[in-house]
Structure 1
Amino acid sequence: MSQESVEQAIQRAGGAVALLRNSPIRPHTFPVAAEFTNWRTEQRAWRDSVALLDQSHHMTDLYIQGPDALRLLSDLGVNSFKNFGPGRAKQYVAVNHDGHLIGDAVLFHLDQDQFDLVGHPMVLDWVQYNLEVGDYDASTERDDNSYDRVAGPPKVYRYEVQGPNAVALLEKVTGAPVPTVKFFHMTTFTIAGRQVRALRHGMAGQPGFELFGPWEEGEEVRDAILAAGDEFDLVRAGAKAYSTANLESAWVPAPFPAVFSGDKLKGYREWLPTAAMGSLGGSMDSEDVTDYYVTPYDIGYGNIVAFDHDFVGREALEEVAKSPRRTKVTLVWNAQDVAAAIGSLYASDDLPAKFIEFPKARYALHQSDKVLVDGQLAGISMDVGYIANERAMVSLATVDLAHSEPGTEVSVVWGESPVSAKPGVESHRQVHIRATVAPAPYVQFARSTYRDR
């Protein structure tokens, strides 16, 4: 019996919103230790010393190779590919025919005609589908994340070493000066006698490198880093801390993919199995699935949209670029309101608010909470959690330009009404939590020093 497609599931459920809001598919997990010490200390390490984060398990790799690999990626990506040679990487962004975001991932140009697209499956699925139905001389090899992989370990290990002591630590481990490497460019290190590829990058907006190589060599590389770590106050960061790193650098990890409507994408939905879709959570309650869609301009990718090539959605994005509706901000949640929502769990005479998980409070893969100004919808809050370094509960949101100035007061509606059937959602009542608009990234270092590259 063939697996149900997303298109079939939408028809069965009576609509995309109903299907996704009640989806039993849980948010992607980080299948590594939750904490090695405690997540507060681990968060502080990437600000004050150096943290080692394990990225080996929670992302999917789509290896693309062949003479037409670059043409395929260019046809689907909003990015410019001028001067994009081997040894470089970019935040790859794809949109649908109407200019709405399908997804983003990190694209590594490994070698001539060889690429690795790494991230959540949304954009990887879209690229794979277009390769299969299009006229491209290229092939793919897919390595699913460890949550979805049928058997065996990942193909490669990935470690993030970041923080103010990251460079000194790597010089100790490699026995050589760390070369000057531009942001999102790659170099090569030798660690424990193994050749290690390194991307100049940092998930929390701090100095650092993403290290990767064959899985079989990962333990030796990791142990060498740990052995040298005491001198630099190295702290291993577990899944809880790692899941919040994006809140400091202002990367939105899983915006709602704009693939659930439109005749032009019907073939894709018929190809896409329901196991590949996620779940929708939050207080947004529109039955029109397009109300959940965002454009690259809405979530901070406007600066990488390049109209120097033809790509799916180009014409639509050219119109959006003339007058973007929304922009990405950080919302700093009111501490008293957060405390009151948590305190409601201890009041026996009333239905409590939706449970707020710490440090990451997102409870669906695609979180969509209403942002209100004077009771009117002004945007969508998409990822929320606690930053111990700032002692603040924050969320990454896209809001109307009219309400995007730092200091603007808004409110976030927390909880669902009616309550969905997702297994991670308990009986609760909605609450309004006041919030203040702040820049994205919220952390000063990520916003100024690190981003000024």
Structure 2
Amino acid sequence: MLRSAPSLKFPFLYPPEYSSWDDEQRAWKTTSVLFDQSHHMADLRVEGPDTKKLFSDLGVNSMATFGKDRAKQFIACSPGGRFIGDGILFGLDDDRYSLVGGPLAFNWVAYQAEAGDYDVKVVKDPPTAFNPGRRQMYRYELNGPRSGEILAKAQGAAMPQIGFFHMGELTIAGKHVRVLNHTMAGAPGLENTGLELMGPIDDGPTVLEAIVAAGEEFGMRRGGSRAYLTTARESGWIPLVVPAIYTGEDLKPYREWLNPRGLEGHASLQGSFDSDDIEDYYATPWDLGYGNIIRFDHDFIGRDALERLADQPHRRKVWLVWDSSDVMDVFERSLFGDGVRPRILDLPNSEYGTLIFDKVLAGDRLVGMSTWAGYTANARAFQSLAMVDEDAAQDGAVVTVLWGQPDGGKSTPFLVPHVQAEIRARIRLQPPD
């Protein structure tokens, strides 16, 4: 079903570019870039006496010290220990949390809150394109080395000291603003380089206008959707994997609860990795680089399975830097060649569906899957993120990415027929400069 779904992309309801996507990419390294996240992310707000218990029961993370003005990357797994979804969990108060991100974790938590015996109230705020009403919160992301200076000017006072993944408060244009210190792209480890601002939707235009005015002095750029999607590749976050929900009788009630028109029922699964077993696409937290945040200090869904998997071999998340000559060969043959040509490499993002997984080969051996391919002006290279076998995850090792559908796109509506292409790539264990 997923392999034959139409190859469609998620609608981003804001401009693709303000200056140009490569200029906007460079801005989060040299000055700062401002992204509007008010429209495309789901927001699930939960409050009540059992709020912490709900997220503790569902997350691999420890919730022992979580509460007001804290945040974390929340990870949810299936009973079998396979990844379902993630998101940023905000502690708005000790018993009031907000889970923000894609729909996979959003739906899982909403279902468990409804099906379980939890004393909580849940408010769903879907993305604008799927929202029957209007969004309730604005979200702006300011990334780059001048972010702290820009916000200091916008509020007319020095920035407060906010710890990493902690929240603080600002006043901008007379509006109360909550801010999270984290890094989506830019310069990790430097103070105030990644800041997410949020507040009531009606305050959004006023706050935005003040930040844009303050940013002029520092050369701040507005960021469009084309550059926004490349931040994940630079930071190393794999945005979408196949959620481990399609198999198992224990998950049948959840499958029946889900909206058939949602992402889980309409995602297009593409790429050269093609298996008849959907479980071959499932991932563990270790595969995605989340092994270091698993904590067995509490009971949660998937704990027993993860304890059994802990000492077994895992795949490792890596960056793949694609060989420029091979990339140029695909560009030339796909754009100017005769006959059936390779699948086009779009710029700056080459995702042509929802879930893209290409084979990563070491010689003739399959060693992993590549995803989220595209170009970044900061590294001046075509790159992708990948999950590869631990014994193959050697910094500098050369592997091959097999680009394109096994059947040349015949089974997927809207895909132009093409042939597969082999592209060499070099493994990097840290973000390439």
Deviations 1:275-318 (A, max 9, x none): 11222111111100011011000010001100000011101111
State the distance in 2 between where 1:263 and 1:374 align. 38
What's 1:306 paired with?
A: 295
Amino acid at match of 1:238: G
Q: In the alignment, does 2:231 pair up with 1:226?
A: no
Instruction: Report what 1:208 is aligned to.
Output: 194
CA distance in structure 2 between the partners assigned to 1:234 and 1:409 by the alignment: 38
Cα distance in 1 between the residues matched to 2:410 and 2:294: 36
Q: Give the residue type in structure 2 aligned to 1:218.
A: G
Q: Does 1:287 align with 2:276?
A: yes
Structure 1 segment 78-93 matched on structure 2, within 5 A: 78-93=60-75
2:319–2:431 Cα contact (<8 Å) kept:
yes
Does 2:53 match 1:64? no
Which residue matches 1:376? 365
Cα-to-partner distance string for 1:401-432 (whole Å, 9 max, x where unaligned): 01101111111111101225444421111111
Deviations along 1:181-225, whole A, 9 cap, x unmatched? 111100000000000000001211431210010110100001001
Match for residue 148 of structure 2?
167
Q: Distance in 2 between matches of 1:346 and 1:128?
A: 45
1:349 equivalent to 2:338? Answer: yes
Given candidates 237, 249, 255, the residue that maps to 2:241 is 255
Secondary structure of the residue aligned to 2:22 is helix
What is the CA distance between 1:146 and its match in structure 2? Answer: 1.5
Alpha-carbon distance, 1:115 to partner? 0.8
User: Offset at 1:124?
Assistant: 1.0
1:149 shift after superposition: 1.6
- The residue identity in structure 2 corresponding to 1:63 is R
**Deviation at 1:265?**
0.9
Alignment of 1:426 with 2:416, yes or no, is: yes
**Any idea what the Cα deviations from partners look like across 1:208-261, whole Å, max 9, x if unmatched?**
210010110100001001111121111111110111011111011112211111
How far is the alpha carbon of 1:364 from its aligned partner? 1.8
What code does the residue aligned with 1:234 have?
A: M
Provide the secondary structure at the position in 2 that maps to 1:173: helix
Contact 2:169 2:178 in 1 (8 A): yes
The alignment covers a number of residue pairs equal to: 424
Residue in 1 that maps onto 2:190: none
User: What is the Cα deviation at residue 102 of structure 1?
Assistant: 0.4
Q: Secondary structure at the match of 1:21?
A: coil
Task: Tell me if 1:28 matches 2:10.
Answer: yes
Deviation at 1:96, TM superposition (A): 0.6
Instruction: Name the counterpart of 2:128.
Output: 146
Structure 2 unmatched ranges of 5 or more: 188-192
* 2:175 alignment partner in structure 1: 194
In structure 1, C-alpha distance between the alignment counterparts of 2:239 and 2:337, rounded to whole Å: 36
Distance of aligned partners of 1:358 and 1:25 in 2 relative to their CA distance in 1, 3 Å threshold: closer
Percent of matched pairs sharing the same residue: 45
Contact 2:137 2:199 in 1 (8 A): yes
Aligned equivalents of 1:437, 1:317: Cα separation in 2: 27
Q: 1:312-367 CA distances to partner (integer Å, 9 max, x unpaired)?
A: 11011112211232110000011111111111124443311111111011122221
Higher mean alpha-carbon deviation, 99-108 vs 200-209, is at 200-209
State TM-score, norm by structure 1. Answer: 0.91
Establish whether residue 246 from structure 1 lines up as the match of residue 235 from structure 2: no
The CA distance in 2 between the partners of 1:434 and 1:353, in whole Å, is 15
- Counterpart position of 1:97: 79
Contact 1:297 1:324 in 2 (8 A): no
Of 420, 429, 432, 1:439 maps to 429
Give the Cα–Cα distance (whole angstroms) in 2 for the partners of residues 45 and 425 of structure 1. 33
One-letter amino acid of the counterpart of residue 212, structure 2: L
Q: Do residues 73 (structure 1) and 38 (structure 2) align?
A: no
Matched residues in 2 for 1:390 and 1:111: separation? 40
Match of 2:102 among 120, 134, 145: 120
The alignment partner of 1:349 has SS state of coil
| Alignment check: 8 A CA contact 1:22 1:420 kept | no
**TM-score normalised according to structure 2 size:** 0.95
